[in-house]
Structure 1
């Protein structure tokens, strides 16, 4: 049995806790309406955010190791399962009230993930090559440019747009990490352009995610991120990186991926804001549980 399964399970838990803690910190920080790196500095003043960032870093490292053997369509979809952990913790700790539609979507998410786990076949990655490295670098420029525009959008649409852009950058980092995880030596790892492309994409994605969480529903922001970070890596992994599905279970992998994707996209429509910024003051996320703003 591949050790990647253990790393995958631990990763889901870490991402779930990270989403919750970073959401709390974002709600207590002055809202930003531009792609300003100073937001990360403000967030870093909150111990809650730093603990959440630590959990996210651990989740990222666990995902990195899991990608050494497990296909991207499984690992990236499993990141979305962290959203389920976030929702459960939000209910237990912050007394969030999830609407019935969101609960149904979380169940669908779990079923889709189970199908992916059954159908995935562990296999090392192929090299991405110079062309792939250049494409990932260009994607970084494109996401950053779109981020400047999306940062001007307020309310739930801004949350979804910024979350989706964060997902694209996290997805690009995942694509870079799949072949990088198979580096044959420390020197090859440190000197690989993929390492620095991965770091750059991760930083941009982190900034975009912080902005997204300030604009509305945590679930909507993270669901949009998960959807955008799942599709491109899944396709690129299967076509270019040698990801494999167990013989005869291609249909199950397809059903599982569609179910997972439908669940996370559905959450962008049904999820209700758990917090928002009030003019002139900051309020606790749990003060806005179960309410929807008339205007964003």
Structure 2
């Protein structure tokens, strides 16, 4: 058994579980605030004063640390798709909070995702190489193109929100947040690979920290994590928040896979392992789509509030913003 499966896979599953819990906590705090604008940075500035939202951030921090470790022993082509399991945790906990029963379609979607993870474990059982680190030039390219994309997507999402196209706005916020999270994952991958190098050479942790602070990966992580969180909170505010989360989850899971295999020399499984890898990606993607459809159906059958989010306290205006802040 490779280190990627023996150590990386359990760490990734633990990270995904924590990432699935955090949005539920953060969404409850976000929906108690007035609607955000732009990239959601103003909303984020208000949320950091809320203990409930900070609790969700603490959960995300723990998830991040597990993700760094996972990426130090496993390729992003394995870690990225498994991180999509956060949707299962998110869906099950949200359903429990709202006392909803998971539909047969939703249960089937979860089974597809679990089967996909099992196939990934087989695909990387003997192919657990972590590939090469990204160059500074590539990281700066991600920085520039990612910022432009986030700005354009946020502009389109804000226009859609002002025009009353709630689902379109949630989708665009989800896309923008997903891309930002994907770039943050690539920066996290740099941390994981650097940790792996230090662990192999026996260099002190101080050297590891200095290298991180002196390179662009740390700042890339900060910029795109803040952008991703702000954009995600904007998507979580609306009544179509149930759309934003699966879009964010899907893009942030699969974009790093494509980049890892094409730009960072991660080894591709061969023979039957390659077949299992492709089948796993298809099953996980189908599971994400199935869970998203299940949540959208729950919204349509509900009382007009997001079925994928816990209902915050207090009354709400017709536009979905709180009449009184908590």
**TM-score, length-normalised on structure 2?**
0.79
276, 282, 289: which is aligned to 2:322?
A: 282
Residue 123 of structure 1: how far off its partner (Å): 1.9
- Matched-pair contact (CA < 8 Å) for 2:146–2:179: no
Take 2:219 and 2:95, find their aligned partners in 1: how far apart are those partners? Answer: 38
Please give the secondary structure, in 2, of the residue aligned with 1:67.
Answer: helix
Q: Go from structure 1 to structure 2 and tell me whether the alpha carbon gap of 1:36 and 1:237 turns closer, same or farther (over 3 Å shift).
A: closer
Report the counterpart of residue 78 of structure 1 in structure 2: 82
Following superposition of structure 1 onto structure 2, how do residues 198-213 of structure 1 map, counting pairs within 5 Å?
Answer: 198-213=221-236
Q: Give distance in 2, aligned partners of 1:19 and 1:95.
A: 18
How many Å separate the matches in 1 of 2:318 and 2:45? 21
In structure 2, do the counterparts of structure 1 residues 139 and 64 end up closer, same or farther at CA, with 3 Å as the change threshold?
Answer: farther
The CA distance in 2 between the partners of 1:118 and 1:54, in whole Å, is 33
Pairwise mapping of residues 105-124 of structure 1 onto structure 2 (< 5 A)?
A: 105-120=109-124, 121-124=127-130
1:128 to 127, 134, 142: 134
- Rounded to whole Å, the distance in 2 between the matches of 1:267 and 1:139 is 30
Number of aligned residue pairs: give it. Answer: 284
TM-superposition CA deviations, 1:48-94 (whole Å, max 9, x none) = 21111111121122112211121212212122101101111122233
2:286 pairs with 253, 262, 265, which one?
262
After superposition, give the CA deviation of every residue in 1:200-247 in whole Å (9 maximum; x if it has no partner). 111100100000111234442111001111232111111222323444
Q: CA deviation at 1:102?
A: 3.0
| Residue in 1 that maps onto 2:276 | 252
Cα displacement (A) at 1:44: 2.5
Instruction: Determine if contact 2:77/2:256 at 8 Å carries over to the other structure.
Output: yes
Q: Show the counterpart of 1:55.
A: 59
What is the alpha-carbon root mean square deviation over aligned residues? 2.4
Please state if 1:191 is matched with 2:214: yes
* Partner Cα separation in structure 1 for residue 158 and residue 289 of structure 2: 21
Q: In structure 1, what is the equivalent of residue 93 of structure 2?
A: 89
SS in 1 for 2:160: coil
- 2:38 match: secondary structure: coil
Distance (whole Å) between structure 2 residues aligned to residue 81 and residue 24 of structure 1: 21
* Larger gyration radius, structure 1 or structure 2: 2
Does the 8 A contact of 1:163 with 1:209 survive in 2?
yes
Q: Which residue of 1 aligns with 2:143?
A: 137
Q: How far apart, in 2, do the equivalents of 1:42 and 1:101 lie?
A: 38
2:214 equivalent to 1:175: no
CA contact (8 A) 2:180 2:225 kept: yes
Query: Which whole-Å deviations, capped at 9, do the CAs of 1:90-123 have from their partners, x for residues lacking one?
Result: 2223324444433332222222222222212322
Unaligned segments of structure 1, at least 5 residues = 284-296
Structure 2, gaps ≥5 residues long: 199-206, 297-305
Structure 1 residues 164, 88: CA separation in 2 closer, same or farther (over 3 Å shift)?
same
- What's the offset of the Cα at 1:7? 1.6
